[in-house]
Amino acid sequence: MNTPNTKPGKPCEESDSIALARLTDQIVECIHCGLCLESCPTYVELGREEDSPRGRIYFMRAVAEGKVEIDESVRRHLDVCLGCRACETACPSSVEYGYLLERARTHIEKTGQRPYLVRLGRRMLLEMFTHSGLLAPALFFATLPYRLLGKKPKAPGGIVSAIVGASGKGGDLYLGSYPRFRPVRIPERTPARDQKKMRVGVVEGCVMPVLFSEVNRATVRVLSALACEVVVPRAQGCCGALHVHNGHTEAAARMALRNIEAFEEAGCDVVAINSAGCGSTIKDYANLFPDGSPEKELAEKFAAKVKDISQIIPDLLRDHPMRSLDLTVTYHDACHLAHGQGIRDEPREMLGMIPGLTLVPLPESDHCCGSAGVYSFTEPDMATRLQMRKVRNIESTGADVVATGNPGCQMWIRSGLLSAGSKIQALHPIEIVDMALRDGG
């Protein structure tokens, strides 16, 4: 491993919202066995220890102990990490790598390690993606020339990458349809179609109402058809996932409290999420608060009610009439479902219940597609390498559709398939269930 700047640095500040003790406890759990290396997409692509989980933990430990200063080289190795948490799945010592990465990134952001303009660009990108009222018009105007020329809609990923000071050159982001000027909201309350079984709160998300409103609408239709009353509290806001992943944990903690309050007031039996990234963050809200605090207790209680949509539907779907779908589908495991929440079987079970549908295995199904929140803009080179690897694997299955339970993956994989000229569609599994439940539709 190349030795980074070995000038003694400042130890991580203890004033971080989480005690430093837990951070170092986690770091020393790593026994340097290297069993995580082959599961790490960046290590597989680059073949360098510094770009592996073990190498990054080495840097974090040296920084936490004040032996090393974060310099450009250390920051690059941490930036290139996707936060996919595949290393957690592989680790025999149960090192919570995702938690370590979040704290390391918080430290980098707090200590102002990036040039001011880059920090500003990254913050703007974050705010854009977490406010659908900003994202919708921005995408609308960015894609206007294609709409006027009647061409496939694309967003200028390269310009965004330049604004955030990305090290590589980003390309265009192909979209499935022309974005609307305003986000498409789902109704605040939808009654159960049958005798009500439960009241389900739905997390609407920030990107979903702009780019995947059809996924939200399908979620509501399916829940209602399966005898659930659906409520979408208007007081909810961004879940904070992108803030957590990019080192803004204090802002994420404020967002967490707002959402907990909104859903508690709505009185839901269950809170359903159709975005893996949001689900993983919301289930981990407790990590944002100090041990023993009332907020942590609230967050733990709330997390017990939160379920990915694929954890709710199979039970409700059993014995429910569905129409046959003549489709061959393959399934991509979104990192924050498979590695972040341990959810692998449920979406496959849900799809497998649809008559006529053939589910075919996807090689490297849980290898990150490169989307990883805003990573495709901040690290476009690695993101594109992983995207093309995913596209090749999907094409090898001969499927008509690739299903995945995260909007970021759906957008990035769809863009990769469209740019490769593929006819394979990228859909959310709930959209496929919705097709099977719609009368003749």
Among residue numbers 398 through 437, which ones bind ligand SF4 (CB under 6 A)?
A: none
Chosen residue from 23, 36, 173, 202 binding ligand SF4 by CB under 6 A: 36
Stretch that binds ligand SF4, among 27-35, 113-121, 218-226, 269-277 (CB under 6 A): 27-35
Distance CA 338, CA 34 (A): 21
Stretch of 38-46, 378-386, 405-413, 433-441 lying at the interface with ligand SF4 (CB under 6 A): 38-46
- Looking at the chain, how many residues does it have? 441
In angstroms, rounded to a whole number, what is the distance separating the alpha carbons of residues 221 and 436?
A: 12
Q: Nearest distance from residue 377's CB to ligand SF4, in Å?
A: 17
DSSP state of 328: E
Regarding 6 and contact with ligand SF4 (CB under 6 A), the answer is no
Cβ–Cβ < 8 Å for 30, 95: yes
Stretch that binds ligand SF4, among 29-37, 160-168, 212-220, 388-396 (CB under 6 A): 29-37
Interaction between residue 334 and ligand SF4 (CB under 6 A): no
Name the DSSP class of 438. S
Q: Which is nearer to ligand SF4, 52 or 425 (by Cβ)?
A: 52
Residue nearer to ligand SF4 on the CB measure, 216 or 387: 387
What's the rounded Cα separation, in Å, for the pair 94 and 15? 26
Burial class (CB in 10 A: 0-12, 13-18, 19+), 423: exposed
Pairing of β 228-231 and β 189-190:
antiparallel
Q: Rule CB under 6 A: say whether 86 interacts with ligand SF4.
A: yes
CB neighbours of residue 387 within 10 Å: 25
Instruction: Closer to ligand SF4 by CB, 261 or 364: give it.
Output: 364
Phi, psi of 91, rounded to the nearest 5 degrees: -80, 125
Return the residue of 61, 77, 85, 389 that touches ligand SF4, per CB under 6 A. 85
Among residues 30, 24, 28, the alpha carbon closest in space to that of 90 is found at: 30
Nearer to ligand SF4, 30 or 394 (CB): 30
Residue 53 engages ligand SF4 in binding (rule: CB under 6 A): yes
Residue 93 touching ligand SF4 (CB under 6 A)? yes
Does 389 interact with ligand SF4 (rule: CB under 6 A)?
A: no
Q: Which of helix, strand or coil describes residue 145?
A: helix
**Smallest distance from ligand SF4 to CB 417, Å:** 23
- 187: phi then psi, degrees, rounded to nearest 5: -60, 155
User: x/- string (CB under 6 A) for ligand SF4, residues 62-81?
Assistant: -------------------x
218 binds ligand SF4 (CB under 6 A): no
Q: Is 33 in the site for ligand SF4 (CB under 6 A)?
A: yes
Q: What angle do CA 276, 131, 147 make, to 5 degrees?
A: 95
CA atoms within 13 Å, Cβ hemisphere of 99: 22
Report if residue 35 touches ligand SF4, rule: CB under 6 A.
yes
Using CB under 6 A as the binding rule, whether residue 87 contacts ligand SF4 is answered as yes
- What amino acid occupies position 68? V
The per-residue DSSP string of 357-391 comes to -EEE--TTTTS--S-TTTHHHHSHHHHHHHHHHHH
83 binds ligand SF4 (CB under 6 A): yes
User: For ligand SF4, how many residues bind (rule: CB under 6 A)?
Assistant: 27
41 binds ligand SF4 per the rule CB under 6 A: yes
Contact footprint for ligand SF4 (CB under 6 A):
30-36, 39-42, 53-54, 56-57, 81-87, 90-91, 93, 95, 97
